[in-house]
Amino acid sequence: MSVTAALGAVLRREFALAGRRVGELGLPLVFFLLVATLFPLGLMPERELLVAIGPGVLWVAALLASLLALDALFRADVDDGSLEQLVMSPYPLPLLVLAKAGAHWMLTGLPLVVISPLVAQAYYLPADAAWALLATLLIATPTLTLLGGVAAALTAGLRRGAALLGLLVLPLALPLLVFGARATELAAAGEPIAGPLYLLGAMLALAVTLTPWAMAAALRISLD
Amino acid sequence: MWTWFHKLGSPPHFYRISGRLMPWFAVPALVLLALGTVGGLWWSPPDYQQGDAFRIIYVHVPAAYMAMMVYVTMAVAAAIGIVWRMKLAFASAAACAPIGAAFTFLALATGSIWGRPMWGVWWDWDGRMTSVLVLFFLYLGFMALRSAFEDPVKGDRAAALLAIVGVVNIPIIKFSVDWWNTLHQPATLSRLQAPAMTGDMLAPLLVMIVGYMLLFGAILMVRVRGEVLLREQGARWIRELSPGG
């Protein structure tokens, strides 16, 4: 089997597994919607207030929702031993985990991105800001999945790893939040958002090139 | 050179050497810290803008400097440990974390105390402060991850990897004052420019920084010795250390 065929097999397996547990798949999305609902109810649902807090709140909600989904990235595979098979396979482990993280993002990150303009409407964000939210989430959630993948790989062997995930991921995810929310705010004020978008793109490029190796090394340690 | 390196990596040899070296760090550290404190609090003139309030710089700047230096030391030790599987490197990285966290906390606390009279606020969400806060969380994450593993060898290696990943934060801290032009003032000391303060203000600061470094060296040695004893417990050379056995 060539490397591309192996990658295809990993992707197909992830999608097949997800297809058998459709209920689990929607959980991060529902969590995102719930957190987004809590803020207007906890504060006052006034238009100006919601426009002001919208970009930040939606970004934090997306961050927490993807954090919630992260533990599932390697947990089931560690428990049933299939991750060890991946580690022992003759194919480059960084590429295999990159495929796994990619599938994970398509299944948990992409739905958040798609639904975000709708939620932005509920916060009365102008159309420009809704698109900016979509664009920043589209660029930044893969980075988040990859960074979180390193932390998930480090804690994969731990029984209570999920509790540690937040402490490990959130500090590293801060720049994403800062630039993502700032770009959305800029768009709401009618300013150009190219700068923060480029920075988020640069972070994605760095994450795609560097984190697969860190994830692979972390998995080798966890399964050792 | 390599035999020296290998010899240093052996725990009993390190234990013996470090015990002898420790006072050579601790005594100059105490002398320099005392000198720097007296120099900073009494000998240096008050600032023309900030008056006497600026004197907290003699605690704040060295602490912030050490917060980053200890992290880099920890990450280098962690990398050596991962690459060469050196036990002593893991012990050093583990010993660095609480010291670094303490320096980081000191930097954050003194910065906050300094900010209150100067800026009117205890805390401002600018790049420098936020990234140092992230550094503090990285230290906490390192310690939490290391202790979460039942197998200490695994914990060491996992935490070491985390320390290496966290290095991305160091340049962000370093350049944050140049990238975001906010409340925090630019670097006090710079290699490229003449220092922005007069000699009699600068001298105690430099003395304090060197004192902090030596203090770090001394505390690190004590802590690594402790880690070595903990990790090698039951080894024959440790039983031979205590005459009663």
For chain B, the domains span: 53-188+196-228
Distance CA(B97)–CA(B183), nearest Å, equals 29
Distance CA(B187)–CA(B219), nearest Å, equals 27
pLDDT at A201 over 70: yes
Chain B nearest-CA distance from A46, in A, is 26
- Summarize pLDDT for A174-189 with one digit per residue, the tens: 888 888 888 888 888 8
Contact B157 A224 (CB under 8 A): yes
Q: Which helix (H) or strand (E) holds B36?
A: helix B11-38
Distance CA(B185)–CA(B205), nearest Å, equals 16
Residue B123's φ and ψ, nearest 5 degrees, are -145, 145
pLDDT at A94 over 80: yes
Contact B89, B225 (CB under 8 A): no
Residue B151 contacts by C-beta under 8 Å, 6 or more apart in sequence?
Answer: none
Q: How many domains does chain A have?
A: 1
What is the residue range of A141's domain?
3-223
Predicted local confidence at residue B93, as pLDDT: 93
The complex's ipTM?
0.80
- Summarize pLDDT for B111-145 with one digit per residue, the tens: 888 888 877 778 777 778 888 898 999 999 999 99
Distance CA(B89)–CA(B75), nearest Å, equals 10
Tokens representing B155? 């914990």
Tokens representing B145? 């991850």
Residue A17 contacts by C-beta under 8 Å, 6 or more apart in sequence?
Answer: A76
Predicted local confidence at residue A42, as pLDDT: 86
pLDDT at B181 over 60: no
- Summarize pLDDT for B209-220 with one digit per residue, the tens: 999 999 999 999
Chain A residues bordering chain B (beta-carbon distance below 8 Å): 150-151, 154-155, 157-158, 160-161, 164, 167-168, 170-172, 174-175, 214, 217-218, 221-222, 224
- Summarize pLDDT for A136-161 with one digit per residue, the tens: 999 999 999 999 999 999 988 887 77
Supply the DSSP symbol for B46: P
Mean pLDDT of B7-36: 86
